[in-house]
Amino acid sequence: MQSEWSLEELKRSIVDSAEDYDRIVNNMNKDGTKVKTEEGETQSPSEE
Give the separation between CA 16 and CA 9, rounded to whole angstroms: 10
Q: What is the pLDDT of residues 18-30, one digit of tens each?
A: 999 999 988 888 8
Per-residue pLDDT reduced to its tens digit, 2-20: 578 799 999 999 999 999 9
Arithmetic mean of pLDDT over the chain: 78
The span from the first CA to the last CA of the chain, in angstroms, equals: 39
User: What pLDDT, on a 0 to 100 scale, did the predictor assign at position 48?
Assistant: 45
